[in-house]
């Protein structure tokens, strides 16, 4: 098995209070750090190995209301959702959330500026998956679109606001 940890994605919440790191491998999962007032030092609040240990989380994004953080599992296409604060991460009820069809290789993930949708790009397909954000941060898979054909796969996702 994999005996190393690979760090794959980072995100900072809209208040610049928390830093999130998505990882895969031995300590795969989502870690949360508190950004100190100086902006140059960080304090670990929750290690990824205690939250979904062993998953292959790659992209990570925070919603604009600073209430939820989402990360995509490269292996099975599921999206993990958490609420967060000074006490660490708490899984959103129903997490992880499955795509509308079999997917793997979540390479990119973003939350729209209204905080209503999570979008992912997946290597399998390849496709663009839309999730609606419901009450308490729960996700529901909605539309699915094929992004390309052949051997080209999306590797990132960016939204303009």
What does the pLDDT look like over 42-66, one tens digit per residue?
888 877 766 666 688 999 999 999 9
CA distance 118 to 75: 18
pLDDT score of 1: 46
Question: How is residue 153 written in tokens?
Answer: 């796969």
How many residues comprise the chain?
A: 161
pLDDT tens digits, 70-105: 999 988 889 999 999 999 999 999 999 988 776 677
d(CA 59, CA 150): 23
Please check whether residue 157 is in contact with residue 110, taking contact to mean a CB–CB distance below 8 angstroms.
yes
Nearest to 97 by CA among 121, 73, 114: 73
């Amino acid at each position: 098995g994999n005996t190393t940890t690979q760090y794959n994605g980072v995100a900072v919440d809209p208040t610049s209070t928390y830093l999130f790191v998505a990882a895969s491998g031995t300590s795969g999962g989502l870690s949360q750090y508190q950004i100190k007032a100086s902006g140059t030092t960080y304090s670990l609040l929750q290690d990824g190995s205690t939250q979904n240990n062993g998953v292959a989380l790659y992209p990570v994004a925070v919603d604009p209301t600073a209430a939820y953080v989402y990360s995509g599992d490269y292996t099975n296409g599921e999206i993990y959702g958490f609420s967060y604060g000074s006490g660490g991460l708490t899984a959103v009820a129903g997490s992880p959330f499955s795509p509308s069809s079999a997917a793997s290789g979540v390479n990119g993930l973003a939350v729209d500026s209204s905080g209503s949708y999570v979008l992912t790009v997946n290597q399998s397909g390849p496709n663009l998956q839309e999730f609606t954000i419901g009450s308490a941060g729960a996700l529901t898979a909605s539309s699915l679109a094929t992004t390309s054909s052949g051997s080209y796969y999306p590797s990132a996702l960016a939204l303009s606001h």
